[in-house]
Structure 1
Amino acid sequence: MMNKFNLLLLFILNFLIFSCGSNNGNKKSDFSLQINENKSEFKLNDELKASILNTKNKSIDSVSFFFNDQYLNSSKDGNFNLNLDKVRLGNQLLKAIVYSEESADTLTRSIQILNTKAPVLYTYEVINSYPHDITSYTQGLEFHGDTLYESIGQYGKSKLRKVDLESGEVLKEIELDEQYFAEGITILGDKLYQLTWQEGEGFIYDLDSFEKTGTFGYNQSEEGWGLCNNGQKIFKSDGTEKIWILDPETLAEKSYIQPTTHKSVSTKFNELEWVNGKIYANTYQKDGVAIINPENGAIEGIINFSDLRNKVTQHNKLDVLNGIAYNPETDKLYVTGKNWDKIFEVKIMEK
């Protein structure tokens, strides 16, 4: 049995071990991360100036600065300047690790970076309309060649379809198990990817046969809303302010952008579509489609579709705009909604 002296020695050793090393938040740091003018809101292209306040004049070996865990540079004097010209917009985290006297203190400050310009406002003209299944609770819509693919949601009614645009004829269809609520889809190569809403799982299909060939998890996000791709990367919305960028091989969520205007960070982006280098995204329960820069998240335009719902058959299950499909072979854009009986070919023009 341990005597009192050994117990005291063990306590002292444990205290010394946990008192050394990096600051884990249990003790107040001798340093603080200061941002010039104590600013927390910036615009794209602003200059961010930060410094380390050394309250006890401890000897600093070096300071490493990070932007959302991405290493930027190191400083001996604790001063830091960053031009915000090539950064992602939205809610960001500036982090500094101060190395001093064989210890490391981690300091953070939250900032928000907004776009410099208001979104350009667009309206539309209906060029043509095509029949759409009025019972389809549309969650995802995408062209491959001249054929339309559609994901239909709701528990017990979720489906994946291949559809002829002009006639509305269903060319191929599979039903999902009742425990799944289908969401957005995208096609990359010979694979079709489909999200489910709150089940934390996506499905991978062979494009031709609709045979399920695999599944993927959501990792950091909790829900699945919309999908699109640029031929190399897959983008995924989850209802929050984040649009995730997925590894096309593993479908892991590697990073994200945050759709942001000159005033605020936006949320609830649902169906996504890649259109000429931009992400088109409709906001859930709204009649607008945002045009998003995929590099930094800037919302560069808003398309107002507010009266389009009035052009379809009115009934008690009629729901919101949801469904954007771009055909790159014809350079034509199509939109529809949940339980709409028409798909509209539209031409977008500045107001």
Structure 2
Amino acid sequence: MAARSLRKRFNQRSNSINLQHNQMASSSPPWRLTYRKASFLISAVIFVCVLLLLSISWNMRSAFGSDHRLDLVYSAEVVRVFPHDPNAFTQGLLYAGNDTFFESTGLNGRSSVRKVALGTGKVEAIHEMQHSFFGEGLTLLGEKLFQVTWLQNTGFIYDRNNLSQIGTFVNQMNDGWGLATDGKVIFGSDGSSTLYQLDPRTFKVILKQTVKFKGHEVHNLNELEYVNGEVWANVWQTDCIARISVTDGAVLGWLFLPYLRESLVASGARGIDVLNGIAWDREKNRIFVTGKLWPKLYEIKLHQWTPFNGDIGSLCLTRPHHF
């Protein structure tokens, strides 16, 4: 009986100790809960701070120009050189298939729309404009050629087969400089930083986008060409062609082609004007460029200029001109 009583007391004491231990374990002291909460809050704050720093770093890189996607600069390998009328003040150029071009020329008394053979530069057909009109951008949609004029809102429509004038339209841009098309809408420029989208049936403005490079407006947009989902634009008075997104007007990259003009001058060409005129052969994916009063037209192949040792913005961004 004594042994049983002693064992019973021992068991009761053990149970009492275990009960007290469990009660202590199930009710952690306040300082331990506070420590856990503080650890969680500190971790959360650190995580948020990291996200903010990454966001600020990204915004600063974009603002100060270290987003290299915006710094794509291309030079051009000359694939072939073709003759071009040195008296043609080229304002609009487009590839018409079968190694022929349609070209719009400017200057009062010398403005025209013409069909030109690629291989020889020979003018195969021509429509000479009245002295009062200064021819500008040109584009082809279906069987019709559309042309705008400088400092006037009058535009002309021609039959592509014989260049006869078959209609007119009112240009709703501020001026007429460049035209291009993707087959659905007509893109237009007026010498400003605005890229227009126009209804080809009414020529009413569907959309206006401000063309920008790293937040800066790209003024003096001139001759246009639609190239594989982008609009390419000569920037007047520069050796630059901007590759423009049709989605938001952002500049996707640059063609920088000073050596074309420089090589003409070095070869003895006199009186040449600026780079102007872009044409794309969709079927063979060929790019052609020329300039105002240039004696040559070039088929070119693009090469990314890496690294480009210069500030492309200072070379291609110019102050707006007003006439």
TM-score, length of structure 1 as denominator length: 0.66
Count of aligned pairs between the two proteins: 241
Aligned partners of 2:144 and 2:160 also within 8 Å: yes
- Aligned residue in 2 for 1:66: none
Aligned partners of 1:131 and 1:166 also within 8 Å: yes
- Aligned residue in 1 for 2:155: 202
Q: Distance in 2 between matches of 1:166 and 1:173?
A: 17
- Aligned residue in 2 for 1:184: 137
Q: Distance in 2 between matches of 1:280 and 1:293?
A: 9
Aligned partners of 1:159 and 1:175 also within 8 Å: yes
Q: Distance in 2 between matches of 1:156 and 1:177?
A: 7
Q: Distance in 1 between matches of 2:90 and 2:125?
A: 16
Q: Which has the larger radius of gyration?
A: 2
- Which amino acid in structure 2 is aligned with residue 167 of structure 1? T
Aligned partners of 1:115 and 1:263 also within 8 Å: no
Aligned partners of 2:178 and 2:223 also within 8 Å: yes
Q: Distance in 2 between matches of 1:115 and 1:195?
A: 39
- Aligned residue in 2 for 1:318: 272
Q: Which residue, 258, 263, 283 being the options, matches 1:306?
A: 258
Aligned partners of 2:127 and 2:164 also within 8 Å: no
Q: Distance in 1 between matches of 2:106 and 2:66?
A: 34
SS in 1 for 2:216: coil
Q: Distance in 2 between matches of 1:225 and 1:257?
A: 16
- Which amino acid in structure 1 is aligned with residue 124 of structure 2? L
Correspondence 1:1-351 to 2 at 5 A: 117-146=69-98, 147-219=100-172, 221-312=173-264, 313-351=267-305
Describe the superposition over 1:245-273 as per-residue Cα deviations: whole angstroms up to 9, x where unpaired: 00011111121111111131111110100
Q: Distance in 2 between matches of 1:148 and 1:119?
A: 32
Aligned partners of 1:115 and 1:298 also within 8 Å: no
- Which amino acid in structure 1 is aligned with residue 213 of structure 2? T
Q: In the TM superposition, what is the alpha-carbon distance from 1:315 to its structure 2 partner?
A: 4.0
Describe the superposition over 1:115-136 as per-residue Cα deviations: whole angstroms up to 9, x where unpaired: 9652311111001000001111
Aligned partners of 1:270 and 1:281 also within 8 Å: yes
Aligned partners of 2:221 and 2:234 also within 8 Å: yes
- Which amino acid in structure 2 is aligned with residue 266 of structure 1? V
Q: Distance in 1 between matches of 2:154 and 2:104?
A: 15
- The structure, 1 or 2, with the larger RCO (C-alpha pairs under 8 Å, 6+ apart) is 2
- Aligned residue in 1 for 2:317: none
Q: Distance in 2 between matches of 1:236 and 1:200?
A: 13
SS in 2 for 1:250: coil
Q: Distance in 2 between matches of 1:315 and 1:123?
A: 22
- Which amino acid in structure 2 is aligned with residue 342 of structure 1? K
Moved over 3 A (4+): 114-117, 313-316
SS in 2 for 1:118: helix
Q: Distance in 2 between matches of 1:232 and 1:186?
A: 12
Q: Unpaired runs of 5+ in structure 1?
A: 1-42, 47-113
